[in-house]
Amino acid sequence: MNNVIQHGGPFQFVAASYLVEIRHERARNLYELLLHLRAVPEASVFFHTFQSMEAHHYTSFSNDFAQWVHSECNDVRLAERLGAVDLTSFPTIAEVREALTALIEDHVEQDPYAGARPAAEPFHYCTLETVTAPLDLTATSVAELAAGIRAISHQTLHHHFISSRLRPRLMVNDFSVWLQSIGLGELADEINRIDFFTNTLEGVRQELLRDLAPYEVGNA
Amino acid sequence: MTTTLQPAVTLPHLEDYTAIVGQPEIAELRTFAKPLAGRTLTMVNSTAVGGGVAEILNRLMPLLNETGLQARWEVMTGDGRFFAVTKAMHNALHGAPFLAPPDAFDVFLAANEQNRKRIVLDSEFTVIHDPQPAALIAAREKDHGYWIWRCHIDLSHADKTVWDFLRPWVERYDKALFSAPAFTQRLLIPQILFYPTIDPLADKNRELDPRFVESVLARFQIDPARPILTQISRFDRLKDPVGVIQAFRMVRRYHDCQLVLAGGGASDDPEGAEVLAEVMHAANEDPDIHVLELPPTSHLEINALQRGSTIIIQKSLREGFGLTVSEALWKKKPVVASAVGGIPSQVLHKITGVLTQSVEGTAYQLRFLLSNPEFARRLGENGHEHVKENFLITHNVKRYLLLFLRALNKA
């Protein structure tokens, strides 16, 4: 969320969506993937990892790099390792980039032939332009927060629950920040532990609602 | 059976999409539209009817107006020479040799200049579709408005002569929109990914009464009790209809099934008539191969054929975005398609459909899906969700709103 939550003030839902910008960098093999991965802006790394999670809910892997390495390079071992990089455990994009590059470096060091082997189709680096606008939707209680969570799109849910964690060294989602501000620290922690890495956004929504449900009456 | 269905005569409103994409999507779309209320938008393309772009704009413009934008659609005019030149340019941009008279670019520029004088191009946002009207950017007065070039074609194998001519015009725009990352060229301006979209409420895609589907199958003497494999496409060699027949014959050794090849393009295109003749020859009066030449208005019949099919094939040798694939996926059909053009964006291999590269591969995958109906059903379900998340007209409306909002924020 772009605005800072005032202590005890209402939670403001923000509609969020994005445009995908196609960058010039294209990788035709693992060496080129690595070369560009070291240099592209953080927004591009974010797009291919955190943002693209919503597009991968029925694929085998949770990020674009793993998916491409699997489907276009036919390199299952590396794809598995890249796909297992747990995005929930990194507080910054720089660290995500570091983890991904380290895995690819290690892989091509062990198997230099794999690094130069041509992919079936190139990897196109992209980035995103996020657009946000305040919704006519606020919450002053847990019940209203739950109602709001039911009424927002997947992209907006992604914005509040996943993108928001990447504010520098925060690792906390917007809902937990607000719950903390109204004195519900325990619930805030519980919600922040929801595993968005292996879940769909709809699954995340349902878990959020389940966690909020016991508090709705007392805080309505 | 005499079940009839009338084409929809009124265009849908945004609210009508709520049942499909959900209330949150429509509510948020309206939220994004608020700051754009009353802003002016002009879109220009080269034809009012026929072709995918006109089809998209016919449905898109009313929805954009409904969001509060003052949106206007203009169609450029030109004589036979101009359209012969732009057809040659179109083919060359797709990678064919540029076969045009030496003054082709002069003809192109003269027609653009005439249209520049004829069309009022003073909106805050101007979207120019495809190469034909690209030089209308000359109408832009210094720093006025925000100009976007929407390219619907695959430029990845563009002929150098044509692209060298076109590129300086394109680079005068603020942004270029492409249907897939693989379709782009290196440009000095930002390039945005804009998937083409289908309208789930159009006659081609809307839900149909099962009795109507049955009546269409009966009309074409297709047996609903046996599996039906269908390819919907123009009679064009690039759609490889003869390859589809070859694949079908390999499948039929193991499965008692039928093939439907349905499309148009044979009556108004000499090459289409030739291809149709080749297809009829290859079909060799096989009663299980149904070759249907349909008029361009047969949206409901095509919809019914897709819904009545067991598997949809799109075995193109080359393809633009290939939106017929999304149409099939929307109907929860398992799809076997070539990995060309924009098809891999729609068919994620073994997840939302199956990608193939050859006649043999196509035959094998068709057999596999006929033998594994549960897996085929799952592909269809995933395909439907994939289209819902990416390739519906409401996404197109939203992407344009976001584009204009970004422009406003930067101004």
| Residue of B28, B151, B329 to mutate for A, most A C-beta atoms under 10 A | B28
Closest approach of chain B CAs to the CA of A28, in angstroms? 12
Mean pLDDT to the nearest integer, B84-97: 90
pLDDT band at B6 (very low <50, low <70, confident <90, very high): low
Q: Which of A133-137, A208-212, B185-189, B292-296 has the lowest mean pLDDT?
A: B292-296
- Domain residue limits, chain B: 16-197+392-410, 210-390
Nearest CB among A18, A58, A153 relative to B24 is that of A153
Q: Is the pLDDT of residue B45 over 60?
A: yes
Residue A5 domain flag: no
pLDDT value of residue B8 = 67
How far is it, in rounded angstroms, from Cα A200 to Cα B23? 19
What residues have CB less than 8 Å from B164, skipping those under 6 apart? none
> How many A/B residue pairs have CB atoms within 8 Å?
77
B192 touches chain A (CB under 8 A): yes
pLDDT value of residue A3 = 41
pLDDT value of residue A218 = 62
Nearest CB among A22, A54, A59 relative to B181 is that of A22
pLDDT value of residue A219 = 57
CA angle (A93, A94, A98) in 5-degree steps? 115
pLDDT band at B319 (very low <50, low <70, confident <90, very high): confident
Q: Which residues of B touch A128 (CB under 8 A)?
A: none
pLDDT value of residue A168 = 63
Mean pLDDT to the nearest integer, B12-22: 96
pLDDT > 70 in chain B, percent: 96
- Nearest residue of B to residue A13 by CA position? B28
Where in the sequence is the domain holding A42, given as residue range(s)?
20-126
- Boundary residue ending a domain (A62, A97, A126): A126
Amino acid at A31: Y
Q: Is the pLDDT of residue B408 over 50?
A: yes
- Average confidence score pLDDT of chain B: 93
- Cβ atoms of A150 and A209 closer than 8 Å: yes
Q: What is the mean pLDDT of each run of 10 residues along chain A (220 residues)?
A: 58 96 97 98 93 71 90 94 90 93 97 94 95 96 97 95 78 92 95 88 94 81
B403 touches chain A (CB under 8 A): yes
B99 touches chain A (CB under 8 A): no
Residue A185 domain flag: yes
Assigned CATH class of B210-390 = alpha beta
Residue A63 domain flag: yes
- Boundary residue ending a domain (A126, A148, A180): A126
pLDDT band at B5 (very low <50, low <70, confident <90, very high): low
Mean pLDDT to the nearest integer, B26-42: 97
| A103 and A34 together in one domain | yes
| A70 and A113 together in one domain | yes
Residue A76 domain flag: yes
Helix ranges restricted to H, B17-135: 18-21, 23-33, 52-66, 80-93, 104-118
Interface predicted TM-score of the whole assembly (ipTM), two decimals: 0.91
Nearest CB among A18, A58, A136 relative to B351 is that of A58
| A62 and A152 together in one domain | no
pLDDT value of residue A1 = 42
- Nearest residue of B to residue A25 by CA position? B186
pLDDT value of residue B264 = 78
The reply to whether residue B399 touches residue A58, judged by beta carbons under 8 angstroms, is no
Q: pLDDT tens across B393-402, in order?
A: 999 999 999 9
What residues have CB less than 8 Å from A31, skipping those under 6 apart? A108, A115, A116
Q: Are strands B258-263 and B40-45 parallel, antiparallel or unpaired?
A: unpaired
Q: Which residues of A touch B174 (CB under 8 A)?
A: none
Mean pLDDT to the nearest integer, B372-391: 96
| A110 and A137 together in one domain | no
- Boundary residue ending a domain (A126, A149, A165): A126
Q: Is the pLDDT of residue B4 over 70?
A: no
Nearest CB among B182, B192, B352 relative to A19 is that of B192
pLDDT value of residue B3 = 59
| A24 and A120 together in one domain | yes
| DSSP assignment string, chain A | --SPPPTT-PEEEEEEEEEEEEEEEEESSHHHHHHHHHHS-HHHHHHHTTGGGGGGTTSSSSSHHHHHHHHTT--HHHHHHHHT--GGG-SSHHHHHHHHHHHHHHHHHH-HHHHHSPPSS-EEEEEEEEEEEEEEEEESSHHHHHHHHHTS-HHHHHHHHTGGGGTTTT---HHHHHHHHTT-HHHHHHHHT---TTS-HHHHHHHHHHHHHHHHTTT-
Give the residue among B256, B386, B376 at the shortest CA–CA distance from B329.
Answer: B386
Structure tokens at B205: 């895609």
Domain B16-197+392-410 has CATH 3.30.70.1520: no
Amino acid at A218: G
The reply to whether residue B27 touches residue A151, judged by beta carbons under 8 angstroms, is yes
